[in-house]
Amino acid sequence: MTAFEEYYGFMEKFIAFYKEAQKAELEKLEALMSCELPRIQEAMKNYQSLIAKAQAFEDERIELCKSLGFENMAFSEVLRHFDEEQGKKLSEQKERLSSLIKTIKYLNKRSMDFVNVQLGEIEKEASVASIYNTKGLADSHLANSNLLNKQI
């Protein structure tokens, strides 16, 4: 197997993995928006599994680059080791990977934004509820007793 075939083949597997990661990121967002705890738990479990797989893929990529003599090289330097046609294929591959990663980052940001809004709503509700005592009467002494707002 040539260096190009080995590198290109690995990167195809890498892209396939990131397609899977993109689906998982979308499922995580949809699960969060559903507010269904079992669905959220399942999505987060799957997401954690993907994080471990991502690290394993990255370790494998680093080892492959070492074995091919591309250790610590930028992509532009790696391209110099291949002919023009191979370089074009690798550049197209890099664009597909970059696009997937950009989409994953966007979906993750949407998830984080959604969670932050939901936490803000919970915090607001908790602070309103915390000003009432056990008899249901307003008590100004309890106004700042919300555990979500405590500074430790």
Provide the sign of the torsion angle of the four alpha carbons 83, 78, 50, 102, taken in this order. Answer: negative
Express each pLDDT in 96-135 by its tens digit: 999 999 999 999 999 999 999 988 887 777 666 556 666 7
CB 18 within 8 Å of CB 104:
yes
Report the alpha-carbon distance of residue 8 to residue 85 in Å, rounded: 12
Express each pLDDT in 47-102 by its tens digit: 999 999 999 999 999 999 999 999 988 888 998 899 999 999 999 999 999 999 99
